[in-house]
Structure 1
Amino acid sequence: MTQASRSTRTWLITGAGRGLGRAFAQTALEQGYNVVGTVRRPGAMADLQADHPDSVQEVLLDVRDAAAIPTAINVAAQAFGGIDIVVNNAGGGIVGAIEELDEQGAREHLDLNLLGAMWVCQAAIPHLRARGGGDIVQISTVGAIGAMPMFGLYNAGKWALEGFSEALSAEVAQFDIRVTIAQLGGFATDWAGSSMSFATPKQEYDDLRKTTFGTAEIPWPTADPDASTDADPRKAAEALVAHLSVTNHRPLRVLIGDDAREHATLAYAGRRESYGVTRNFNWPS
């Protein structure tokens, strides 16, 4: 069965209970797609199921549990007879200078932001191949281009996500499976709130924290969601749907968010400058 012959495609979205994942689910449903969302809390998609009883299925999964992923993906594939689009959205942030990070916290973060996406891809590829092709979307960030102090582990996970995803794109193209790396800017989610972890602070970094975040307090004070200047997550979802609707010459990477282009420009300029003036190669014009 080819992609073109399927009238209703099915999205599998990890971390679909809130934030960006929920926005992706809502937008896909409004476009007439089926949605299978993985959640860590039963009933997180209950309202979506009530509004779209024939198009929504939730599956319990913590992507840090590698052993549980194959079974969860098989259940997801059975919900509507297959999977066509996989969105690796589940993730979170972590704040901490490299010296402040502990092994357990670092491993848990990479299990969530990096390895979870890898194992989901591994389990989903056979299902996509059986459907004659499909899409894998990796929700990345402009933080995968550059790096910020106090976000070193988060940057590392996203850089690694992009590295394996670029290789994956070349590996699965033969199966008509296309990979998209979505580099997002700032959106109004709880990424900086309940989805953020904090390393145990060392006082030697208090001044840097204050310079970077405006406070040395860890965890930082809870922000007023109504005061957020970040964009509506639905805009990210709409941009992703528009990107996936392109059938020819679709790029591997897509910048999403009004601030994403500026951040990417600054990050790539910084990368170029990091080679210094004695580099023995020239940047193409």
Structure 2
Amino acid sequence: MSKTILITGASRGFGKLWAEAFLKRGDRVAATARDLNALNDLVEKYGDAILPIQLDVNDHDACFAAVNKVKEKFGTIDVVINNAGYGLFGAIEETTEEQARNQMETNFFGVLWITQAVLPIMREQKSGHIIQVSSFLGLITLPILGLYNASKFAVEGFSETLATEVKGFGINITLVEPNGFSTDWSGASANQTTPKEIYAPLKKAFMEAATPDSWGKPEATVDPILKIVDSENPPLRVLFGKVAYPAVKQVYEQRLASFEEWKEVSAAAHG
């Protein structure tokens, strides 16, 4: 049975790949982008099955208007994939107020606005699936991506809470947590801070640590995202890529060991 799927940030990368995969199999897709020209090829190929919507997810009212357009066009919204976002590269000390706020506006608030806008529709339907494209950097951190890490940690926190609030309405929440992939996330889509020389060695080591094998192939994510969308019992969290699991496992084991080492102090702090 075909689904109606809303995908933000569909002009390139995961968003465009997944939008075409859904269209190809007969789903209806509302695809948002800042530049609608990036969707012309999909419109030409799939006609009325795709609803292109110009959207800057930083705009609260525009997010709600976009969701309403989808409901008016297709009558239902079965799946939302909050994919819009970008990476801010640079040390925390280098980050300006504007850069920090912009990173949070897009990666966190944009996700929040679309999620809030679609919830009444899904509650009325008594069904729905909201997929947040987070990152394994919402679970662990890497240097030189401090504000990006923070934005994804925020998405993780609110989405996990949301899952407990809306499960009774028949709404599922899934956090997709990719490691690095060969999209333009670290290229054209990325922003850079103004560098301070003191952080140059750290940045050099960071860049040298990534091998060609560290980056996943975007095309390989198509079947996994289809499987998640079609699941009757989708996971709250799912890692994408072979780098993410060992990295997260190692950090979580270290955290648990540290909690164990300091548990007497923790108990004493309770009073």
TM-score by length of 1: 0.87
- Give the structure 1 partner of residue 249 of structure 2: 265
Residue identity in the other structure for 1:112: T
Q: Which residue of 2 aligns with 1:184?
A: 178
Structure 2 unaligned spans of 5+? 267-271
User: 2:84 maps to what in 1?
Assistant: 90
Match of 1:68 among 47, 62, 68: 62
The CA deviation at 1:128 is 1.6
Q: Distance in 1 between matches of 2:111 and 2:82?
A: 6
Report the AA paired with residue 237 of structure 1: V
SS of residue paired to 1:99: helix
| TM-aligned CA deviation for residue 161 of structure 1 | 0.2
Work out the CA distance in 2 between the residues paired with 1:166 and 1:105: 26
In the TM superposition, what is the alpha-carbon distance from 1:228 to its structure 2 partner?
7.8
Q: Hey, what's the Cα distance between the residues in 1 that align with 2:239 and 2:197? A: 36
Mapping of residues 61-140 of structure 1, within 5 Å: 61-140=55-134
8 Å CA contact 1:13, 1:86 repeated in 2: yes
1:14-93 mapped onto 2 (5 Å cutoff): 14-93=8-87
Q: Aligned AA for 1:162? A: E
TM-score using structure 2 length: 0.91
In the other structure, the counterpart of 2:203 is 209
Measured after TM superposition, the shift of residue 29 of structure 1 is: 1.4
Q: Point out the more displaced range, 39-48 or 116-125.
A: 39-48
Give the letter for the 1:239 counterpart: P
Contact 1:188-1:228 at 8 Å conserved across structures:
no
* Contact map agreement 1:14 1:87 (CA 8 A) in 2: yes
| Identical residues among aligned pairs (%) | 38
Bigger share in helix: 2
Whether 1:243 aligns to 2:237 is no
Q: Secondary structure at the match of 1:180?
A: strand
SS of aligned partner of 2:173: strand
1:228-239 alignment to 2 at 5 Å?
A: 230-239=215-224
Q: Alignment length, in residue pairs? A: 263
**SS state at 1:45 partner:** helix
- Over aligned residues, Cα RMSD in angstroms? 1.9
